[in-house]
Structure 1
Amino acid sequence: MKRAKYIFCALAVITCIAQGQERKLEKAENRFSDFAYAPAIRSYEDLVADGYSEERIFKNLGNANYYNARYAEASKWYGKLFELDTADIDPEYIYRYAQTLKSLEDYEASDRWMNRFREARANDRRAERFGENTDYLERIEANSGRYEIQNLGLNSKVSDFAPSFYGEDLIFSTARDSGLLSKKIHKWNNGSFLNLYKASQDGQGNFIGVDRLSNRLNKKTHESSTAFTKDGKTMYFTRNNSNNGKFSRDEEGISRLKIYRARLVDGEWKNIEELPFNDDGYSVAHPALNKEENKLYFASDMPGTVGESDIFVVDIHGDSSFGTPQNLGPKINTEARETFPFITGSDVLYFSSDGHPGLGGLDVFAIDLKEMGAGQVVNVGRPLNGEEDDFSYIIDEETLKGFFASNREGGHGDDDIYSFTETKPLDLKCHTLIAGTVRDEETGELLAHAAVTLYDKENHVVSTSRTDADGAFNMEGDCKDGNYKVVASKSDYDDGDKVFATVKGKDATGIEVVLAKTVRPAPLGTDLAKYLGIEPIYFDFDKYFIREDAKISIKKVLAYLNEFPEVKVQVRSHTDSRANDAYNMWLSTNRAKSTADYLIAQGIPENRISFEGFGETQLTNECSNGVPCTKVQHQMNRRSEFIVVE
């Protein structure tokens, strides 16, 4: 009885513990579903400490840290997820794991997981970009070392980001608590809600004062990412969906982002209005104006978006109305995040992405919109980009000075604003590698110092080069899709070419161009067999018929005679020293006639061909009468020659 009681009590304790853990799991799940990622992380970590190791826990721990840009922590939990060896895990987790490994600077492991991602999603643009740029680290390195960066003194212990130019001042978004309002905590990351601040400069460009912008702009929501017209009278900014200035969620529990426009009237920001393409069902954020102020670039997950967010553009009409937003397309947008656009006066678009090959987290990329057809998306390189998030890049093209934000190590807070000076321009031209070799058609010999020219489909010269000592060439293509032609030329050879196609700016390597030696009229007295570099016309012992191997060589003689119809030749035939002189003279004459008849039978006019036999009078070696020689040595004398006589 006592034993049964003890067993019952033990079962009760186990049941209570299990129920308690289930409640913990439910609480963690609810927090995660409510986007309360910071408390969800704590709850999930408590469950792991209690021995839980479920797939959904590791997934959500990875995601919660990933969405908070804690990539090293996210990598740990994604790693544990894949240690479970669970089948049918969404390939998106493979991609995120590959991305987070970069934050640990483990690029080799990251590339292995990216190759797994390519196998799982071959048509994904991120997989395609990786496949097209397997040397992305070398390409990034080539663009590195072009910036001098410095952490700004205005940064706080929390998040400061999204700088924008406003005359001599800098407008930015921050989670700092001003002390004037009660502290508002956002459970996504346990940080204060974002507000807009202004940093003023002195005459030397130092920021000396930081002030919170008007309460008309800063509400009980997030405000960030501003853009201003040149006259300073119109402002575009990002704000959470709100109801009478208060934080508002949709039916899925998400507070979407929207872009607003405000007008400066009598020194106050007024007439604040939503842009007409906002919607409660998706986010629109991070506005950027072009130089003419007739286009607004922004990030959104509106219908037509490929990834988590894409870059869009919309026309601003003369009456301040807007056109229809247009997605910037697959060259820029991937299935991941493209966000924080900035457009320069020369139409270079800078944006942040974790879908293009980078160093980890969000990297800053650029593309020349004037060259969209043949242009390429370029990573701006270190030290501006690193293993963490680098974003909200802006630059003054005249001074080459600008600002960006990053959560890299060594900062004051979660995100810091950094100033930079660009010391070397970014090469935005698309460079496609065109490589191959030039060979001799007959011998296969690699030909050094051959001139090589690349032509596009309109027969315009794209680039030129020469082969090196090993017969290899390298040239730059222009990245346009279509057919191209490589033409090689070298003295004593006819020009040769090779046509190939390029798609999506991929390199074209392994191209082989073969050149045939140029055939020129031979001088009088020349033996065409030697001139054309062909095998001699040999005969069997005591025979005068044309052998099959001889016909192969005669084809080149025929080609020469057809190419130069004014040339006349005399066929001169010979024997070895065996048999008597008279017989050998008769035999050689028959060999000469047989050879001449063969040429005539192949279409060469009879008046161009003569023949003569020389018996054993012109031996090529010492195998005269009475001299012991091998069969091979005697064979060298049984031959026909083609001597140019006119």
Structure 2
Amino acid sequence: MFCGLALLGCMAQAQERKLKKAETKFSDFAYAPAIQSYEDLVADGYTQEQIFKNLGNANYYNAKYVEASKWYGRLFELNEADIDPEYMYRYAQTLKSLEKYDASDRWMHRFKEAKANDQRAVQFSKNSDYLERIEANSGRYEIRNLGLNSKVSDFAPSFHGRDLIFSTARDSGLISKNIHKWNNASFLNLYKATQDGQGNFITVDKLSRKLNKKTHESSTAFTKDGTTMYFTRNNSNNGKFLRDGEGVSRLKIYRATLVDGEWENIEELPFNDDSYSVAHPALSPDERQLYFASDMPGTIGESDLFVVDIHADGSFGTPRNLGPKINTEARETFPFATDSGILYFSSDGHPGLGGLDIFAFDLKENGLGRVVNVGRPVNSEEDDFTYIVDEATQKGFFASNRAGGQGGDDIYGFTETRPLDLKCHTLIAGTVKDGETGELLAHAAVKVYDNKSNVVSTSETDANGAFAMEGDCKEGNYKVVASKSDYDDGEKAFATVNAKDATGIEVVLAKTVKSAPIGTDLVTYLNIEPIYFDFDKYFIREDAKISIERVLAYLREFPEVKVEVRSHTDSRANDAYNMQLSANRAKATADYLIAQGIDKNRISFEGFGETQLTNNCSNGVPCTKEQHQMNRRSEFIVVEN
């Protein structure tokens, strides 16, 4: 008995040591070995919440989204109630890599309920049709895998004249100190690929040892004259890693100049810091600004895009966050600015297909532009990033870890065959309804006008009376005008401020009263109560006057209309008497109209006695008082319009 308890105790201590060892690896960002240690613990029966969190995160940060999805799923099977909403978001993202978009959207709805003000939740709410929008932008590229790729990671291409500079892990990883434990891959170095006259890459060479140290180097940007280079490197001292208090070697941007064919004067930029990362430089078209990614103070998410001014003397201004239009609480990274002022970047915070997607934003829109997913096939369910393009040729490059590549990340070449619509649009949405009945009106024409009466957008309501269309982002006053046959036009004013959408607009239409066709009885046409008379009487009753007011209003609205008043009796009394009684009723009705201001030349009248009964209550047929009442009436028949 004692031996058995001792053995169990030893086993428990061994498992605890394994757990502590795995947690140490994870805390040291040694994700690759941490994954193996945690998986061993799960195989031994451990099902702790923290194990599933760390397994999910370690795979997520290594872009192994299918594996991450499995562990996040196990996490939520274990406990749904008290998990940080950030795991909901990551789980939703990883489900996209499995193309389970419906399931991903369900988790995004739960994430939105938990964090309604999160920019990612806001973007999801505003773009619930994101898959349709991505599809509309898809099919604009022809892509190809490049022969320069290796069996490991190759990414971060940049233009340097006719050469392509890129980052790669292809150096030998046989020496343990050259292996990065984040992903068990060699450290990254910068290489140059040279093209022939047909655009084929014929040679691949490592750049200067002055640039490539025993650290990661990646993400380069060059001035147009090719003499100044910005690049990313781990924080280092004499080529060796420097780590912060948390054991992390942060990323920094360095600048170098080309002197007699060699890269010299390597210096780190002044806004770098040992406590946060600054990485992935990109120059503005005029080379007076530098875009980059960072998690410096003032960052909204895991990493944001910033811009800093480059002064004429080579010094720098103060970095500025590009703001919540572009940045979310997730990752925005790898910027690239074209000559026309289009900023391309990668993000897993804006609605996409899974992992990092590539997005575009028109910097010329002065902050009113929209972030647009560039679509398939450049974007996929995996990570797609480091996009660059030559707008003169519409040719460019990007990197992806999608299936079918030669290594972990591959560089792909592309030709853009159709431009991307980046014009800023706002959503204008609402309903059109009948003002009297409240019925939602289908197939009503809808137009949006600006304050100069210019048509901004047109649409039509659907079967449910709803409309949705795109407006422009200019601030000002607008109006929605709806029209439909048999209705007067209706309108609703609204204003656009800060490019915000205008939704919930309700346009109410009133039915148009049109001139009735010849032969029409206005009682029926105007849907009013009939003009009834008391038995054996021909005076106008008070209740009848209410209906006649509608007839009067109609005759005033259509002054060309002439009517004949036709009056009737029931079958009681003899035929001759009833004929005279109906004539008196017709004249009394006509006189009432004339007394209310209607020209007597527009009114004629005639009595029909009991010759036009509305029911079968003829002579000798027993009927109730109510049935006889139906026949004692006046009609207003249109004879000219």
Change (3 A) 1:644 1:616: closer
8 Å Cα contact 1:28-1:44 kept in structure 2: yes
User: 1:343 offset after TM fit, Å?
Assistant: 1.3
Provide the secondary structure at the position in 2 that maps to 1:383. coil
Change (3 A) 1:621 1:147: same
Q: 1:284 aligns with which of 278, 283, 290?
A: 278
Q: Deviations over 1:163-193 (max 9, x none)?
A: 0011100011112216999961211112222
Distance 1:157 1:178 in 2: 12
Residue type of the partner of 1:478? Answer: G
Correspondences of 1:96-495 after superposition (within 5 Å)? 96-177=90-171, 184-371=178-365, 375-429=369-423, 451-456=445-450, 459-465=453-459, 476-478=469-471, 480=473, 484-489=478-483, 493-495=487-489
Deviates more, 1:111-120 or 1:445-454: 445-454
Q: Deviations over 1:146-172 (max 9, x none)?
A: 222111111122211100011100011
8 Å Cα contact 2:25-2:34 kept in structure 1: yes
Query: TM-score of the superposition, structure 1-length normalised?
Result: 0.87
Change (3 A) 1:23 1:471: closer
Q: Deviations over 1:303-337 (max 9, x none)?
A: 22111011122222333332322222222211111
Q: 1:516 aligns with which of 502, 511, 522?
A: 511
Distance 2:322 2:496 in 1: 22
Change (3 A) 1:527 1:448: same
Deviates more, 1:548-557 or 1:101-110: 548-557
Distance 1:329 1:138 in 2: 26
User: 1:598 offset after TM fit, Å?
Assistant: 8.8
Residue type of the partner of 1:130? Answer: F
Provide the secondary structure at the position in 2 that maps to 1:381. coil
Distance 1:447 1:52 in 2: 60
Q: Tell me, yes or no, if structure 1 residue 67 matches structure 2 residue 61.
A: yes
Q: Deviations over 1:397-450 (max 9, x none)?
A: 111111111111222221111111112222334566767776776789998886
Change (3 A) 1:14 1:557: same
Q: 1:94 aligns with which of 88, 92, 96?
A: 88
Deviates more, 1:484-493 or 1:245-254: 484-493
Provide the secondary structure at the position in 1 that maps to 2:10. helix
User: 1:464 offset after TM fit, Å?
Assistant: 2.9
Provide the secondary structure at the position in 2 that maps to 1:88. coil
Deviates more, 1:103-112 or 1:539-548: 539-548
* Alignment gaps of 5+ in structure 2: none
Distance 2:464 2:32 in 1: 61
User: 1:338 offset after TM fit, Å?
Assistant: 0.8
Change (3 A) 1:190 1:473: closer
User: 1:574 offset after TM fit, Å?
Assistant: 3.9
8 Å Cα contact 2:428-2:501 kept in structure 1: no
8 Å Cα contact 2:325-2:367 kept in structure 1: no
Deviates more, 1:293-302 or 1:591-600: 591-600
Q: CA RMSD in A?
A: 3.8
8 Å Cα contact 1:375-1:428 kept in structure 2: yes
Change (3 A) 1:240 1:626: same
Match of 2:44 in 1: 50
Residue type of the partner of 2:509? Answer: V
Residue type of the partner of 1:106? Answer: K
- What is the percent sequence identity of the aligned residues? 72
Provide the secondary structure at the position in 2 that maps to 1:105. coil
